[in-house]
Amino acid sequence: MKKRLQKIISESGLTSRRKAETLIIGGRVTVNGETATLGDSADFETDVICVDGKPICRPAQKTYIMLNKPRGYVTTLSDEKGRRCVSELVSDAGVRLYPVGRLDMYSEGLLIMTDDGEFANRLMHPSSETEKTYHVWLDGKCSERSLEILRSPMTIDGYRISPARVEILHENENYTKLSVTIHEGRNRQIRKMCQAAGVKLSRLKRISEGPLRLGTLETGHWRYLSSEELQDIFENEI
């Protein structure tokens, strides 16, 4: 799988990613005998990557999984209140994995977990503006005024969020099901948006994040991210 060259070098343990970029700019890195340039990608499995003429070591193997988080679990590795944690659901992965971002205790759906700290930090950084789509269930019908508020820019906890993309998926007298796509992912953002719009949220489920889709993954189960999914993430630098 191709990755940015500076990431491969940093994962090999030779130096930091920033210093790897300096090595590339200085012309000290080659791929298959050709001098590399900043922005190049390579595949450690098929390419010969050298720094100052010496092949780099194999990068440490990282683990990337997708969990369909159930309601009732907190997004932490342990909890002082004795609540169930998402770490319990992925204990059979064989490595210590950390959640990328959060879903509150009463929310469910797609949660990425990994032991790659750099990957997690990049995905969570506000500058990534990674699109996240949720299915949102509301009690009763959602008025046009409430939809207008949900689709408008608003301030949450002193932070001005971008307009959300909101579509009605199903509606009857008892409930409304919406698709809501946001970029920021602030703490309990959609719950606070619903509160501002004067609607009562009864269920919240994240179904996608960037190029990743929850699909048919069963609640409480997890799977490894495919090489194609990882390729999409690393190529788009989300």
**Interatomic CA distance for residues 167 and 201, integer angstroms:** 15
Quickly tell me which residue has 């199903």 as its tokens: 170
The span from the CA of 37 to the CA of 30, in Å, is 9
Which one of the listed residues 40, 47, 79, 104 is annotated catalytic? 104
> Cα torsion at 103, 213, 1, 21 (round to 10°)?
-50
Q: Is 115 left (phi over 0), alpha (psi -120 to 50) or beta?
A: alpha
Is 104 marked active-site? yes
- Alpha-carbon distance of 109 to 205, in angstroms, equals 5
Spatial separation of the C-alpha atoms in residues 182 and 54, rounded to whole Å: 45
Residues acting as catalytic residues: 104
